[in-house]
């Protein structure tokens, strides 16, 4: 629907090459939304993804400045992301601090570290080699953006892990009943920690993609990304209280947001004004899910009351 | 004995479906009348009609010989009809006395202010407690009371008014035996003062102990109304369920192995339990009895690795074993069916399939990738062998009855082929028909050579199932009873540390 509206009001929106290359704008969000899905399904949240992205990006730049090959620097950035995520996870499972609070704290810490490392003010690092820049802006056979390719591959992997592996099963089960998972022998703390490790690692991937796309890294490159990432998950139908959500839904959510941004850009709507639309989309998307969910839940409850009066369902009271 | 309240031809339907179909029931002064039936038989609806929550579609209610309409709960209270629920609803921040006098505090007016006269209230509350034989500080805040004490407060609430009819809706479901006895002695005292009692319970021996008449409901209809003296346990169960249920005596067990499967030595975790020593043989069902808080669940959770013991040795098949976490317990074949099914047993909003296969995922997968075929076969197999009543293995667990949910928890562990299965209150919240099914499953397990440790506060259950009974008191093993020595009296003697006079 969005596509039809934009193609009507902004000529050239439906241009295929344009559409494909426009995905380069939001693949970083998409990649982080994939791992955020795991975190949210277990009942957690990771507010520090934007800050981890900044810190990974800046570190990659510094490694490269100090003479490392850019690709090795990129891999080190991913490792650093995983480490930062591991710290998040350990804070959460060992101290029992709410994920919201723990990652809010690390949002400040990691974000600030990134700024310090980059050097305040004009703290950007640029001048990366061409082979690396191809990752963010290049296309295979002139039509398939490399970023989209990377994202598609990761989405398939994440979808597979969530649906088809034991790890994915445990992620869902923890989100539905953490205590029962523990009483069933699931290593709840391991599983939860890994969701944050993956989240950190994907922040690293996002940093590598964005560094390449903008041909520079900055201490604030990931600023406010966490909000967009979480929005993509919610628009994609992930339950903010955990227990349900799919990778497919999140991919759709990321594309709705990304295409929206692209369309509004072409209409010369400023990014400040775009946020209004983003907010409206969030309310609309989650509202629709809630209403349909609410209605079904409500009708189910009525049915259940009736059935318990009939004795068809045990209510646990009798 | 004069009739206090009676209902004849009671009918009630909800949205076109008749839930109560022509019930006749009468309560006499000083008499306890039991209302029994499986979950969903319509007992609750009858109670709600009598306490003014629901209006009957047809039928006549007479109170003291006059025809009445009980318009709402407040009206029921005016008439002198009070209900004590399974889960009492007290105001936790208020004192006991304030709860008892809720809405009827003695007061005087100072201008527009109603000034509560605390001392008078406390004194009157103490008087009521004395009449009931309750020992409790009336100034204590209600939040600190046990459930049994809260129920006594609920009864006391009815006593500041003129209680003519007391309705007890499964009051003992969450009480230990000792607390139940106290509750019963209070109820009996009220009966001797002329109160009529309507008693709803799943525990049939309580029905026989307290009540002289019993009304049996099934599917909204009255199946029988008898004197309890004319019935046996078994006849009553058959009337309730409408088919024969085997709750019969324990299966014979002959110890085959010479050495025990599990040996526990000086197991310690103060203050929960101390110096616990016992052993279990394969194929044996051992009961673990005791009052609530005696440390039975703590021992079970220590063996299962949820909260490991501080010290002590555990030998499994002669091998020394350290249980650090749940995984190591499961890997050694020790599994646990927890007491609180909804909290620890199942994920209610997930399917039977997902719940049952969770602990077996490593066995139905390769390199962490699940093999759907194996997985759904496993789930289907267990659903069939446990006779879980569900449309398919994809049905959500919350849609199942309590008994079938419990079978899902059993299934989860049977899939792992356990050596020792610890069951914590395995039939709590399960109705009589499903109880028989669970007993059958437990016996089959033992016949297959699994050692079973059953924790239960329901003494007839433990006597029915167990080949041997361990009794815990205040964190220690107080006694071990063989099948022949065990009786409710002997178990209670060890559990309380005092000899009870048999009733």
Question: Chain A neighbours among B 396-425 (CB < 8 Å)?
Answer: 399-402, 412
The mean pLDDT of chain A is 83
Does the bond joining A127 to the residue before it have cis omega, within 30 degrees of 0? no
Cβ atoms of B277 and B264 within 8 Å: the answer is: yes
Q: Chains A and B: how many Cβ contacts under 8 Å? A: 108
Rg over CA atoms, chain A: 21
Q: How far is B207 from chain A (nearest CA, A)?
A: 16
- Residue with structure tokens 């009798």? A318
Nearest to A184 among B17, B325, B359 (CB): B359
B contact test, residue of A166, A181, A185, A189 with most B CBs within 10 A: A185
Q: At what angle do helices A70-95 and A130-137 cross, to 10 degrees?
A: 60
Is the pLDDT at A104 greater than 90? The verdict is yes
Range A150-162 average pLDDT = 93
Instruction: Using CA coordinates, name the residue in chain B closest to A160.
Output: B369
Q: How far is A162 from chain B (nearest CA, A)?
A: 10
Helix (H) or strand (E) holding B449: none
Q: Cβ contact (<8 Å) for B365 and A166?
A: yes
A contact test, residue of B11, B326, B378 with most A CBs within 10 A: B326
Instruction: Using CA coordinates, name the residue in chain A closest to B46.
Output: A309
Q: How far is B198 from chain A (nearest CA, A)?
A: 15
Question: Chain A neighbours among B 435-494 (CB < 8 Å)?
Answer: none
User: Phi, psi at residue B47, to the nearest 5°?
Assistant: -60, -45
Cβ atoms of B157 and B99 within 8 Å: the answer is: yes
Alpha-carbon span A298 to A302, nearest angstrom: 6
- Looking at the DSSP bridge assignments, the partners of residue B60 are B8
- What tokens does A200 get? 């950190």
Query: Could you tell me if B213 lies within 8 Å of chain A, comparing CB atoms?
Result: no
User: Phi, psi at residue B293, to the nearest 5°?
Assistant: 90, 5
CA distance readout (Å), B11 to A311, B19, B42, B51, B53: 16, 8, 11, 15, 14
Is the pLDDT at A311 greater than 50? The verdict is no
Alpha-carbon span A208 to A131, nearest angstrom: 13
Domain spans, chain B? 3-90+145-241, 274-496
- The string of DSSP codes covering B381-447 is HHHHHTT--SS-TTSBGGGS-HHHHHHHHHHHHHTT--SEEEEESTTTT--HHHHHHHHHHHHHHHH
B contact test, residue of A296, A309, A317 with most B CBs within 10 A: A309
Those residues whose C-beta lies under 8 Å from the C-beta of residue B435, and which sit 6 or more positions away, are B245, B247, B403, B427, B461
Instruction: Using CA coordinates, name the residue in chain B closest to A242.
Output: B349
- What tokens does B365 get? 């997968």
- Residue with structure tokens 């490790």? A197
Coil vs helix vs strand at B277? strand
b/e per residue A211-223 (b: at least 16 CB within 10 A): bbbbebbbbbbbb
pLDDT in tens, A248-274: 999 999 998 888 888 888 888 887 888
Q: Cβ contact (<8 Å) for A311 and B39?
A: yes
Is the pLDDT at A210 greater than 70? The verdict is yes
Q: Can you list the pairs that B436-440 forms with residues at least 24 positions away whose Cβ atoms lie under 8 Å?
A: B436/B245, B436/B246, B436/B247, B437/B387, B437/B403, B437/B407, B438/B403, B438/B406, B438/B407, B438/B410, B439/B246, B439/B247, B439/B464, B439/B465, B440/B246
pLDDT of residue A188: 92
**Residue A2: band (very low, low, confident or very high) from pLDDT cuts 50, 70, 90:** low
Residue in A39, A286, A36 with CA at minimum distance from that of residue A175? A39
Question: Chain A neighbours among B 291-320 (CB < 8 Å)?
Answer: 306
pLDDT of residue A314: 35
Cβ atoms of B308 and B486 within 8 Å: the answer is: no
Query: Could you tell me if A177 lies within 8 Å of chain B, comparing CB atoms?
Result: yes
Residues of A in contact with B357 (CB under 8 A): 169
Alpha-carbon span B308 to B57, nearest angstrom: 57
Q: Cβ contact (<8 Å) for A318 and B17?
A: no
pLDDT in tens, A59-102: 999 898 888 888 999 999 999 999 999 999 999 999 989 999 99
pLDDT of residue A300: 41
pLDDT of residue A8: 62
Query: Could you tell me if A289 lies within 8 Å of chain B, comparing CB atoms?
Result: no
Instruction: Using CA coordinates, name the residue in chain A closest to B432.
Output: A318
User: Phi, psi at residue B348, to the nearest 5°?
Assistant: -60, -35
Instruction: Using CA coordinates, name the residue in chain A closest to B47.
Output: A318
Q: Cβ contact (<8 Å) for B358 and A312?
A: no
Fold: same for B3-90+145-241 and B274-496: yes
pLDDT in tens, B166-182: 888 877 766 667 777 87
Whether ipTM > 0.85 holds is: no
Query: Could you tell me if A181 lies within 8 Å of chain B, comparing CB atoms?
Result: yes
Cβ atoms of B10 and B56 within 8 Å: the answer is: yes
Q: Cβ contact (<8 Å) for A172 and B361?
A: no
Q: What angle do CA B328, B332, B336 make, to 5 degrees?
A: 80
- What tokens does B111 get? 């201008």
Q: What angle do CA B164, B168, B173 make, to 5 degrees?
A: 165
- Tens of pLDDT along chain B (503 residues)? 678 888 888 888 876 677 788 888 888 888 889 888 776 677 888 888 888 888 888 888 888 888 888 888 888 888 888 888 766 778 878 888 888 887 777 777 777 777 777 888 888 888 878 777 777 788 888 877 777 778 778 777 777 777 888 888 877 766 667 777 878 888 888 888 888 999 988 777 888 888 888 888 877 788 888 888 888 877 787 777 766 555 555 566 666 667 888 888 888 888 888 888 888 988 888 999 887 778 888 889 888 988 888 888 889 888 888 888 888 899 898 999 988 888 888 888 888 888 898 888 888 878 888 888 888 888 888 888 888 888 888 888 888 877 888 889 988 898 888 999 999 888 877 777 788 888 888 888 888 888 999 998 877 788 888 888 998 888 888 888 888 888 777 887 787 766 544 43
- Looking at the DSSP bridge assignments, the partners of residue B421 are B335, B452
Question: Chain A neighbours among B 337-396 (CB < 8 Å)?
Answer: 338, 342-350, 354, 357-359, 361-362, 365, 368-370
pLDDT of residue A307: 40
Alpha carbons within 13 A on the beta-carbon side of B495: 29
Coil vs helix vs strand at A70? helix
Q: Cβ contact (<8 Å) for B19 and A311?
A: yes
Q: Cβ contact (<8 Å) for A180 and B346?
A: yes
- What tokens does A11 get? 């000529």
Torsion of CA A8, A13, A16, A18, to 10 degrees: 170
Query: Could you tell me if A156 lies within 8 Å of chain B, comparing CB atoms?
Result: no
Residues of A in contact with B220 (CB under 8 A): 311
Residue in A159, A129, A127 with CA at minimum distance from that of residue A247? A159
Cβ atoms of B358 and A184 within 8 Å: the answer is: yes
Residues of B in contact with A311 (CB under 8 A): 19, 38-42, 219-220
Instruction: Using CA coordinates, name the residue in chain B closest to A176.
Output: B347
Pick the CATH number of B3-90+145-241 from 1.20.120.420, 2.30.40.10, 3.40.50.300, 3.40.640.10: 3.40.50.300
Instruction: Using CA coordinates, name the residue in chain B closest to A183.
Output: B344
- Residue with structure tokens 């983003």? A278
B contact test, residue of A170, A191, A311, A317 with most B CBs within 10 A: A311
Question: Chain A neighbours among B 67-86 (CB < 8 Å)?
Answer: 86
**At the top level of CATH, which class does the domain A23-310 belong to?**
mainly alpha
pLDDT of residue A53: 94
- Residues listed for chain A: 318
Pick the CATH number of B274-496 from 3.40.50.720, 1.10.10.10, 3.40.50.300, 3.40.50.11540: 3.40.50.300
Q: How far is B403 from chain A (nearest CA, A)?
A: 9
Alpha-carbon span A149 to A139, nearest angstrom: 9
Q: How far is A193 from chain B (nearest CA, A)?
A: 17
Q: Which of A20-24, A41-45, A312-316, B224-228 has the highest mean pLDDT?
A: A41-45
Q: How far is A126 from chain B (nearest CA, A)?
A: 42
Cβ atoms of B240 and B265 within 8 Å: the answer is: no
Residues of A in contact with B342 (CB under 8 A): 316
Those residues whose C-beta lies under 8 Å from the C-beta of residue B82, and which sit 6 or more positions away, are B51, B76, B155, B157, B158, B161, B163, B165, B166, B167
pLDDT in tens, A229-248: 999 999 888 888 888 889 99
pTM of the model: 0.73
Query: Could you tell me if A157 lies within 8 Å of chain B, comparing CB atoms?
Result: no
Range A37-54 average pLDDT = 93
CA distance readout (Å), B3 to A106, B194, B439: 72, 11, 40
Alpha carbons within 13 A on the beta-carbon side of B149: 16
Q: How far is B341 from chain A (nearest CA, A)?
A: 9
Is the pLDDT at A295 greater than 70? The verdict is no
Nearest to B402 among A166, A180, A316 (CB): A316
Cβ atoms of B19 and B39 within 8 Å: the answer is: no
Residue in B263, B262, B271 with CA at minimum distance from that of residue B309? B271
- What tokens does B380 get? 């289907």
Is the pLDDT at A160 greater than 90? The verdict is yes
Q: Cβ contact (<8 Å) for B401 and A314?
A: yes
Cβ atoms of B407 and B438 within 8 Å: the answer is: yes
pLDDT of residue A194: 94
User: Phi, psi at residue B182, to the nearest 5°?
Assistant: -65, -45
Domain spans, chain A? 23-310
Burial class (CB in 10 A: 0-12, 13-18, 19+), B2: exposed
Nearest to B429 among A169, A180, A316 (CB): A316
Q: Cβ contact (<8 Å) for A308 and B336?
A: no
Query: Could you tell me if A293 lies within 8 Å of chain B, comparing CB atoms?
Result: no
Q: Cβ contact (<8 Å) for A309 and B347?
A: no
User: Phi, psi at residue B103, to the nearest 5°?
Assistant: 80, -10
């Amino acid at each position: 629907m969005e596509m039809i509206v934009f193609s009507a009001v902004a000529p050239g929106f439906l241009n295929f090459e344009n559409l494909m290359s426009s995905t380069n704008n939001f693949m970083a969000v998409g990649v982080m939304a994939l791992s955020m899905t795991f975190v949210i399904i277990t009942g957690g949240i990771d507010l520090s993804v934007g800050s981890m992205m900044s810190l990974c990006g800046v570190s990659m730049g510094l490694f490269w400045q100090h003479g490392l090959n850019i690709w090795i620097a990129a891999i080190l950035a991913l490792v650093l992301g995983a480490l930062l995520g591991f710290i998040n996870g350990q804070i959460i499972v060992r101290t029992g601090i709410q994920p919201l609070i723990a990652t809010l704290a690390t949002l400040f810490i990691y974000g600030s570290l990134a700024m310090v490392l980059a050097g305040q003010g004009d703290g950007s690092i640029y001048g990366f080699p061409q082979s690396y820049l191809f990752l963010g802006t290049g296309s295979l056979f002139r039509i398939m953006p490399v970023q989209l390719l990377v994202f598609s591959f990761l989405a398939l992997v994440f979808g597979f892990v969530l649906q088809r592996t034991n790890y994915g099963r445990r992620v869902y089960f923890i989100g539905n009943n953490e205590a029962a998972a523990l009483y069933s022998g699931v290593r709840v703390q391991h599983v939860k920690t890994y969701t944050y490790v993956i989240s950190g690692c994907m922040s690293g991937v996002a940093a590598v993609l964005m560094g390449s796309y903008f041909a520079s890294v900055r201490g604030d490159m990931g600023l406010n990304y966490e909000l967009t990432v979480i929005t993509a998950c919610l628009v994609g139908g992930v339950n903010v209280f955990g227990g349900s959500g799919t990778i497919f839904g999140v991919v759709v959510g990321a594309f709705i947001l990304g295409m929206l941004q692209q369309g509004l850009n072409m209409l010369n709507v400023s990014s400040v004004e775009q946020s209004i639309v983003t907010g409206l989309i969030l309310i609309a998307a989650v509202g629709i899910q809630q209403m349909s969910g609410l209605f079904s839940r409500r009708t189910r409850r009525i049915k259940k009351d009736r059935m318990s009066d009939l004795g068809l369902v045990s209510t646990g009271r009798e | 004995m004069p009739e206090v309240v009676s209902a004849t031809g009671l009918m009630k339907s909800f949205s076109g479906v008749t839930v109560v179909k022509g019930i006749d029931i009468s309560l006499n002064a000083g008499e306890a009348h039991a209302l029994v039936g499986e979950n969903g038989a319509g007992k609750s609806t009858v109670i709600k009609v009598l306490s003014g929550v629901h209006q009957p579609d047809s039928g006549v209610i007479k109170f003291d010989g006059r025809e009445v309409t009980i318009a709402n709960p407040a009206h029921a209270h005016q008439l002198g009809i009070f209900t004590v629920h399974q889960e009492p609803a007290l105001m936790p921040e208020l004192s006991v006395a304030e709860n008892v006098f809720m809405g009827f505090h003695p007061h005087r007016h100072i201008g527009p202010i109603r000034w509560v006269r605390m001392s008078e209230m406390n004194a009157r509350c103490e008087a009521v407690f004395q009449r009931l034989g309750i020992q409790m500080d009336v100034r204590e805040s209600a939040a600190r009371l046990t459930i049994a004490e809260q129920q006594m407060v609920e009864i006391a609430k009815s006593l500041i008014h003129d209680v003519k009819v007391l309705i007890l809706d499964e009051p003992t479901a969450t009480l230990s035996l000792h607390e139940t006895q106290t509750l019963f002695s209070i109820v009996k005292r009220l009966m001797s003062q002329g109160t009529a009692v309507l008693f709803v319970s799943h525990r049939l021996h309580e029905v026989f102990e307290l009540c002289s008449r019993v009304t049996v409901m099934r599917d909204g209809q009255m199946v029988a109304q008898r004197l309890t003296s004319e019935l046996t346990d078994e006849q009553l169960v058959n009337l309730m369920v409408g088919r024969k249920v085997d709750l019969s005596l324990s299966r014979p067990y002959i110890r085959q192995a010479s050495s025990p499967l599990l040996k526990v030595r000086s197991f310690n975790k103060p203050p929960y339990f101390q110096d616990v020593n016992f052993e279990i043989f394969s194929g044996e069902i051992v009961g673990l009895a005791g009052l609530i808080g005696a440390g039975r669940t703590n021992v079970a959770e220590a063996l299962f690795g949820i909260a490991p013991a501080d010290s002590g040795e555990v030998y499994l098949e002669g091998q020394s074993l350290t249980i650090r976490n749940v995984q190591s317990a499961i890997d050694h074949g020790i599994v646990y069916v927890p007491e609180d099914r909804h909290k620890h047993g199942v994920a209610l909003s997930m399917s039977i399939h997902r719940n049952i296969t969770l602990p077996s995922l490593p066995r139905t997968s390769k390199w962490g990738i699940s093999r759907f075929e194996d997985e759904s076969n496993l789930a289907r197999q267990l659903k069939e062998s446990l006779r879980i009543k569900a449309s398919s293995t994809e049905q959500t667990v919350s849609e199942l009855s309590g008994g079938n949910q419990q079978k899902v928890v059993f299934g989860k562990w049977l899939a792992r082929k356990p050596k020792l299965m610890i069951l914590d209150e395995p039939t709590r919240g399960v109705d009589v028909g499903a109880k028989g099914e669970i007993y059958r499953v437990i016996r089959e397990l033992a016949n297959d050579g699994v050692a079973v440790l059953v924790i239960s506060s329901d003494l007839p259950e433990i006597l029915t199932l167990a080949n041997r009974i361990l009794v815990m008191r205040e964190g220690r093993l107080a006694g071990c009873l063989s099948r022949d020595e065990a009786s409710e009296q002997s178990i209670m003697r060890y559990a309380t540390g005092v000899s009870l006079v048999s009733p």
